[in-house]
Amino acid sequence: MTHRARAEVGGPEDGPGGGSGDGPGGGIGPADGRPDAEAPARRPVPEASHPGLTASEVAERTARGEVNDVPVRSSRSTADIVRANVFTRFNAIIGVLFAIILVVGPIQDGLFGFVIVANTGIGIVQELRAKRTLDNLAVIGEARPTVRRDGVAAEIPTSEVVLDDVLELGPGDKIIVDGEVLETDGLEIDESLLTGEADPVLKKPGDRMMSGSFVVAGAGAFTATKVGREAYAAQLAEEASRFTLVHSELRTGISQILKYVTWMMIPTALGLILSHLFTLGLPADEAIRRMVAGIVPMIPEGLVLLTSVAFAIGVIRLGRKHCLVQELPAIEGLARVDVVCLDKTGTLTEGGMVVREIRPRNGAEEPYVTQVLAALGTCDPRPNASLQAIVDAYPATDTTWTATDTLPFSSARKYSGAFLATPDGDRTTWLLGAPDVLLPPGDGALADIDELNAQGLRVLLLAATDRALDDPEVTAAVRPTALVVLEQRLRPDASDTLRYFADQGVQAKVISGDNAVSVGAVAGSLGLPGADAPVDARSLPADAAAMAAVLSRSTVFGRVTPQQKRNMVAALQSHGHNVAMTGDGVNDVLALKDADIGVSMGSGSEATRAVAQIVLLNNSFATLPSVVAEGRRVIGNITRVATLFLTKTVYSVLLAILVACWQIPYPYLPRHLTLLSTLTIGVPAFFLALAPNKERARPHFVRRVMRYAVPSGLITGTAAFTTYLLARSYYTGPHALPAETSAATLTLFLAAIWVLAIIARPYTWWRIALVLAMALGFVIVLVTPWLQRFFDLKLVGTTMPWTAVAIAAIAAVLLEITWRWVARRFPA
């Protein structure tokens, strides 16, 4: 289908400069996604076009508040961050317990409350830093619509668009406000993100435009009828904010663990308070302190905080490399990916291309061919990368050619066209596009084309036809006139990036709309295995299972339509793969949206950047390994420190059960467990969570953590309780309980520090120093008189303290044996 349009073919000033800039997919953005680039210049609007609002009209609408004031948020608001870190289930529980301790005293037993305040503060600060990084990068990466005002077209921030503004559109542009079409030149809009309808809609003047849709082909202009919160997309909750949570196994697993802990706390608290009050007859204040001491360590409150901090710091680190992570858990998601689907253009190759040669056919002369190409170049105000190379090589200088009908390029069609006429009566329909689409199978020209494609070159066919552009059979019986040979520049870092993915066990699939042989040649020159057997996607089966079978065998696919890209992602996911999709063109949007993780280039179309979770603002494919490495650091380290937190939860539950069964006082006060938690979990976990970690991301987070935490907690808790029982039989008198508690605390600390020593492996100098520093901190408490009094810790005699050490040593041996057995029995 075409839309009739009449345009005089003019000089270079009427050509590609009419657009606001080109990415490989025909999209535009401020500085093309590069932080250091200059904004495009303003340009006059053609006389036949709508001039747009005047400055005074814009000022009037701004004063009335008719502005597109919906904030483009790449992260949670400050209020959301504070609320998420402060108003949590466990902070509420800790707050209540802290308030109880403040009533019954002493303040030493309420130290855990101050730790929660400090940790929450750290979480807020880190997330605010990450928010600032995200928001700054989002401003750099945000596309700026081209708006006509006072007869001049220029790019402005999205938030400055006002009611009745006239906005220009080209391939890849996202419709940011609702409106009504004014001008069209084969304008095709994809509304699938809003309506679910996959087929592009051909727009005519007067048709409705919905915000949230995007241009797939053609060009045009529309006037804004609804802006800000009245626009269609702004009324949808998921469109109002970019901050959404992709699936995160870490978050899901931690939530699952916390749910079970919550249910265990209630009966444990009741059992402890009733046992101490009625069975043991302790005073109410003492019974409450012992109950609080038994409940507080069961709460792995720092685990949630540490996960958020780790994600936030990951965002900050990647932000320094101009990588915008629009959804925090996307860092984790890319680290879990086992298949990455790559678009060739703009990913493996640089966006720009150059014309290498023209090969006339069927007696055509090269000067005539170049005139036709120059005329075709002026028919598209926003040429894609291929047409831009032709425009650069053959700028239009002859003003006698006239285009009375145009057909914009579409990635689904694989060709564009125009009906050109000259004063001497030459009136011809010209098509420019993929040779294997325009020519019938077996055509003699295809042999030459295959030879060129085998060299990694891109080939376009210029062909003439007697049919009209809107004829469904326009490609039938075309007359080949020339082959246009384009050369693509390989990204210098693409080979190393592909090698990295191969080393990490991540399959790379090259999925492109270009000729399969050409794509295979490019991939082969980069050393991608399987590139010597490319597959033409037109031969792929429609059945998802059959398609998945082909995808598992092959690596390179050419002539892939946008819908096929989407189907290929779904087929891979149906076989249990975590799929990442990279792309920069409008033809990649549907696949990016459906992939587990979508990665867009900063210079790509606005539509691709809107649906992607990760945007590479520096347009460097080589940044992806950094994202993978950051995700693996987060996953690996959180898995490590989660074992520390949950070991504490297990031994706390065990001690509470044993105390209730033996009908004896709980051995610890809150201050004791605050000290132990700080030295064996809190401080070391913070450093371990931020350390480098290159371990491959593995699934089943909860199972991996609990298989170590449960036996470690049981051994540690049993050792501490054994020491406590022995101390109860050894010490006598009215002041025996503090001595018993001190001995039990010594055993618990030594066993817990050994768990830390195991988790800190493999050792580096700073890990060894970290463990030794924590041990030194406990020694300082034991030998400093005022700290002894503050924490109510004092080792009495030598027999029982050395017994406590011996029991801890036995526990350490059991821990080593258990960890080795678990590693063999349940390999990762």
Query: Where in the sequence numbering do the catalytic residues fall?
Result: 343
Neighbours of 369 (CB within 10 A): 20
* Sequence-separated (6 or more) residues with CB below 8 Å from residue 589: 190, 193, 214, 562, 583, 605, 607, 608, 611
The first and second tokens of residue 752, run together, are 């817990």
Question: Torsions phi, psi of 328, nearest 5?
Answer: -50, -50
Residue 659, Cα to own-chain centre: how many angstroms? 47
SS3 at position 580 = strand
DSSP 326-375: SSTTHHHHHHH-SEEEE-TBTTTEEEEEEEEEEEE-TT--HHHHHHHHHH
* Sequence-separated (6 or more) residues with CB below 8 Å from residue 231: 68, 70, 176, 177, 178, 211
Report the C-alpha gap between 758 and 762 in whole angstroms.
8
Report the C-alpha gap between 240 and 389 in whole angstroms.
38
Neighbours of 447 (CB within 10 A): 9
Report the C-alpha gap between 256 and 277 in whole angstroms.
33
Question: Torsions phi, psi of 218, nearest 5?
Answer: 80, -170
Angle at 346 between CA 345 and CA 352, to 5 degrees: 90
Cα–Cα distances (Å) from 267 to 289, 297, 301, 459, 778, in that order, read 17, 15, 19, 74, 32
- Contact 679/772 with Cβ under 8 angstroms? no
3-state secondary structure 435-481: HHHHCCCCCCHHHHHHHHHCCCCEEEEEEEECCCCCCCCCCCCCEEE
Backbone Cα Rg of the chain: 34
